[in-house]
Structure 1
């Protein structure tokens, strides 16, 4: 076996390390923290285009740094220095490297300190670091594709609704901090369908592209202009000085949009209606502002189109209803008005039902069956989500035990977590108290979080979820692709499952974009060794495509509607007979 020692680079690496370096296909590295001597395993040289004669030419850490992209070099050097100086126990840094063939590669370096393992010269010191270099170029490429498909409109290349929602959330947080105001403007091109009818869809697409460019050029880079769908556009004024100045700016834009424009040699004249919602008076988050700006837009169109309207309608009525509903929600638990339904999840490989998602329902004697989209935000804002969430967990854990006794112990129950619950002090201890003493409950429980949980404190959330996972509880990221999708979240969070939001599945029939996004999500999840569950599957075509692209599990009305717990057993029996 070749020795790793060189005349001017001699150090006695034990036989175990020599064999590991020479036999592995992974890229390993070994660093003498005192002398700066560096050893890279042969695979590094192979990946970067070195000939066999050129191998082992990188003998010092200082020889390695010039290979790193200049923009990343300082961060890597500082991170390595912190490691050898014992300022951090571990090393994990991403950087770019251009190999000898001119190809850019994305690399993840990981490492940790080790005790003295050499026998030779004592002056060599006893601080050593070792670790791995992993190429993550494919992962980065998949993430970039997913980001483009998820956050940008394929026709105009403008930001889409998801990106707009994210940027509006950031603006709201900034204005909350400085007590300022921001505004969302919802625009619709009046009678745009006539253009499609007269000249065709392709011509209409060119008009939309031209309209988008006009708005973006007029408003400038400091304002975000997005195309959520169709002939609609969204504009974010991240900071405004007053309602009057905002109205004047919108009117100037509307006048500009009304000027004749040339498209494919034809002169086209547009008219547009706009609706405006202002933070904080018209909404306290992105979703409310967009919804209320849309309501104002509909009011403008109702009043005759080609005009602007500010959101002012029915606010008092909505507040009165909200106050009444909150008061009744306080009493819903004690009155047994809340109940759980369970929607089965089908494993596409085995064809078996392997789990269910617990879905909360409220049967109000006053309001009837209240949508979770309405009462869950109310429960979060009022703090009622804490006792309600605890009740849901209690019911789910008890149901796991009931099903186990009935021979259905293979079923996993997924329970949705609110950001409010996860941020509540003592939440972990409370949950573990529920599963204590109930055999197999922890391993049959899956906690679902949404991407909105991750905005405030990723490291704190990750630490809490890791504690759950260490006890056997599974962790799922729900509604992926509709919020703050980030590769960092997927890499850094202790996840087991990725759930694709039903909005992607719903739009399969509208074109290939949503299908391609879904395919990319599935591919990315599998690279990260995550199971994928598709929600909202309602048709055979959706089911077939998801199975074709390797999705692991599905749920939705094609498999089963949400049903009471006592119907799960008969449902499984009926499924086995088909």
Structure 2
């Protein structure tokens, strides 16, 4: 704020109070006129006061048409004229000094510094007028202090004193005003900084969720869509390529969102890797088309941020069904759609509908049964063989969790595993499954031979927990099981969650003797950099590639490239989901001999014969 703006702000703040002072001053002038008229020595001040009263009433009646700056000057001028008349008639023994000093104070307090100096100079000239008139024998004073009033030297002393008073007043008041202005500017800077921190994202510069909600409620939107976008695998991008690349990805998405937005639409950052967008599109097909174009633009211009690999986004959006619908409720709907989108691999766009919300309510009910199932030990383990098709022997088993609920019957893992993850039960459930597998390991050894390899699936959340390493080591050694017989299967999602933390955990486990397998290889980022950094013992070719063998030559080339990694990195390769002889033969021809699938064995519990 400039000094000029500050002075104007002060004037605007005092205008109402000043307008009230004007009629009060008019009343005082009338009262003064009456007092003077009743005194023994009547003077022209009776008429002066009445004229001033009428003048002030006129100013008050026209107050809305006169600027505050002008009103102050008018009142100060009138007061100065009256003070000058008092000085000439009564000298410094009358009210003239007070009236002029009061006018000077008003000018200095409410107008600019320059005006304060000007008026102080005018006041000195007014004080110089009586001694000049005395010297010219135009006026003379009578009374008890006439010897002082008629003495020019005495007037000179009063002029010097008033000059000092005026200068001190101008300097002091302006110093206070400058100090206040400095504090106001500092306060505004701090306020702007707090506003920036409270309502804006520091990385992208766009508004955050709090400001988004406030603006949406303020604008009272009647229709449109609220879109939530999440950058998939941002943690993995940061770990592999560095946080600068991750930041560039975030800024790139924010920029493309801003470019895609039209007038009246809002874009905000709602979390570490999430954005929220209000779109005014009226039709769902139009909205879907805009989102598809947005994804295309984001990927098409990704090379500008030096991104070595393609990244994906998950999107959920919900429509504003009623005018002024609660924005928190709309965001909740969009969140439901986004969670559904996140459950799919790769980029996905999901629109909210009531059926989708009902599915979430069903998941909540399933969660309650799940908690009961864990408590009542309703889960058991089925095992599926991994077979070396050249040597024609079983080289390992994969442990798979199964659930037989008294209320729900047989519940598919594809139904209960996502619920476990969403309900934050991964660690509890994972610990239970590990104990069950280790408890049954001696039976498996008696059937398949000492040292048979057992693969256990470990969820990302479970693997990243602080207690995981110590828990599995303790449980394994307490049963006298060699850790080298245990393979821990993880997915690329584990690396996406916390690459650095997971890499430390895997290093600890491999040092003890556990083998590490990367499941569903080829469906995520599949960066060779983390293959070399983490030193996996086994890669499992995802079943989606195996199913395409014989249908797509490009898939065969990709599978061949994955199999060739065994020589480059010394990694065992396992193909899962093998269901036909042709698939098995092609895999053997490409160099992959260990197969897992329904062609050789269906998952079965330990109580039943494991061989089909």
TM-score by length of 1: 0.50
Contact 1:469–1:494 under 8 Å retained in 2: no
Show the 5 A alignment for 1:21-60: none
Q: Structure 2 vs 1, CA of residues 216 and 392 (structure 1 numbering), >3 Å: closer, same or farther?
A: closer
Match of 2:366 among 309, 325, 342: 325
Q: Find the counterpart in structure 2 of residue 420 from structure 1.
A: 461
Q: Structure 2 vs 1, CA of residues 312 and 364 (structure 1 numbering), >3 Å: closer, same or farther?
A: same
Show the 5 A alignment for 1:68-217: 175-177=270-272, 180-181=275-276
Contact 1:442–1:471 under 8 Å retained in 2: yes
Show the 5 A alignment for 1:177-576: 177=272, 180-181=275-276, 222-224=297-299, 280-284=335-339, 286-288=341-343, 310-405=351-446, 408-567=449-608, 571=611
**Segment of structure 1 superposing worse, 363-372 or 324-333:** 363-372
How far residue 493 of structure 1 moved from its aligned partner, in angstroms, is 0.8
Q: Structure 2 vs 1, CA of residues 526 and 348 (structure 1 numbering), >3 Å: closer, same or farther?
A: farther
Q: Structure 2 vs 1, CA of residues 475 and 318 (structure 1 numbering), >3 Å: closer, same or farther?
A: same
Q: State how far apart, in whole Å, the 1-side matches of 2:295 and 2:424 are.
A: 41
Task: Render the CA deviation track for 1:492-551: whole Å, top value 9, x for unaligned.
Answer: 113100001100011123221211111111012331110000000000000001111111
Aligned length: 331
Contact 2:235–2:497 under 8 Å retained in 1: no
SS in 2 for 1:176: coil
How far residue 374 of structure 1 moved from its aligned partner, in angstroms, is 1.8
How far residue 491 of structure 1 moved from its aligned partner, in angstroms, is 0.7
Higher fraction of strand: 1
Q: Structure 2 vs 1, CA of residues 178 and 488 (structure 1 numbering), >3 Å: closer, same or farther?
A: closer
Contact 1:507–1:514 under 8 Å retained in 2: yes
Structure 1 segments unaligned to the other structure (5+ residues): 1-163, 190-213, 227-234, 245-276, 297-309
Q: State how far apart, in whole Å, the 2-side matches of 1:428 and 1:421 are.
A: 10
Contact 2:232–2:314 under 8 Å retained in 1: no
What CA RMSD, in Å, does the superposition of the two structures yield over aligned residues? Answer: 4.2
Q: Highest Rg: 1 or 2?
A: 2
Q: State how far apart, in whole Å, the 2-side matches of 1:526 and 1:467 are.
A: 25
Q: Structure 2 vs 1, CA of residues 470 and 389 (structure 1 numbering), >3 Å: closer, same or farther?
A: same
Structure 2 segments unaligned to the other structure (5+ residues): 1-230, 237-248, 255-268, 302-310, 321-331
Higher fraction of helix: 2
Contact 1:180–1:239 under 8 Å retained in 2: no
Q: Structure 2 vs 1, CA of residues 165 and 535 (structure 1 numbering), >3 Å: closer, same or farther?
A: farther
Q: Structure 2 vs 1, CA of residues 375 and 182 (structure 1 numbering), >3 Å: closer, same or farther?
A: farther
How far residue 559 of structure 1 moved from its aligned partner, in angstroms, is 0.8
Contact 1:535–1:555 under 8 Å retained in 2: yes
SS in 1 for 2:339: coil
Task: Render the CA deviation track for 1:257-279: whole Å, top value 9, x for unaligned.
Answer: xxxxxxxxxxxxxxxxxxxx985
Q: State how far apart, in whole Å, the 1-side matches of 2:540 and 2:452 are.
A: 18
Q: State how far apart, in whole Å, the 2-side matches of 1:441 and 1:460 are.
A: 25
State the 4+ residue runs in structure 1 displaced beyond 6 angstroms. 167-174, 182-185, 214-218, 235-244, 289-294
Q: State how far apart, in whole Å, the 1-side matches of 2:526 and 2:414 are.
A: 21
TM-score by length of 2: 0.48
Q: Find the counterpart in structure 2 of residue 61 from structure 1.
A: none
SS in 1 for 2:588: helix
Q: State how far apart, in whole Å, the 1-side matches of 2:319 and 2:235 are.
A: 18
SS in 2 for 1:476: strand
SS in 2 for 1:346: strand
SS in 1 for 2:489: strand
Q: State how far apart, in whole Å, the 2-side matches of 1:331 and 1:494 are.
A: 39
How far residue 568 of structure 1 moved from its aligned partner, in angstroms, is 5.0
Q: State how far apart, in whole Å, the 2-side matches of 1:374 and 1:567 are.
A: 24
Q: Find the counterpart in structure 2 of residue 251 from structure 1.
A: none
Contact 2:317–2:333 under 8 Å retained in 1: no
Q: Structure 2 vs 1, CA of residues 183 and 535 (structure 1 numbering), >3 Å: closer, same or farther?
A: farther
How far residue 317 of structure 1 moved from its aligned partner, in angstroms, is 1.5
Q: Structure 2 vs 1, CA of residues 500 and 278 (structure 1 numbering), >3 Å: closer, same or farther?
A: farther
Q: State how far apart, in whole Å, the 2-side matches of 1:549 and 1:520 are.
A: 9
Q: Structure 2 vs 1, CA of residues 182 and 427 (structure 1 numbering), >3 Å: closer, same or farther?
A: farther
Task: Render the CA deviation track for 1:454-485: whole Å, top value 9, x for unaligned.
Answer: 11332221111111111211110000011121
Q: Find the counterpart in structure 1 of residue 8 from structure 2.
A: none
How far residue 553 of structure 1 moved from its aligned partner, in angstroms, is 0.9
Q: State how far apart, in whole Å, the 2-side matches of 1:320 and 1:240 are.
A: 18
Task: Render the CA deviation track for 1:88-143: whole Å, top value 9, x for unaligned.
Answer: xxxxxxxxxxxxxxxxxxxxxxxxxxxxxxxxxxxxxxxxxxxxxxxxxxxxxxxx
Contact 2:464–2:498 under 8 Å retained in 1: no
Q: Structure 2 vs 1, CA of residues 417 and 215 (structure 1 numbering), >3 Å: closer, same or farther?
A: same
SS in 1 for 2:466: coil
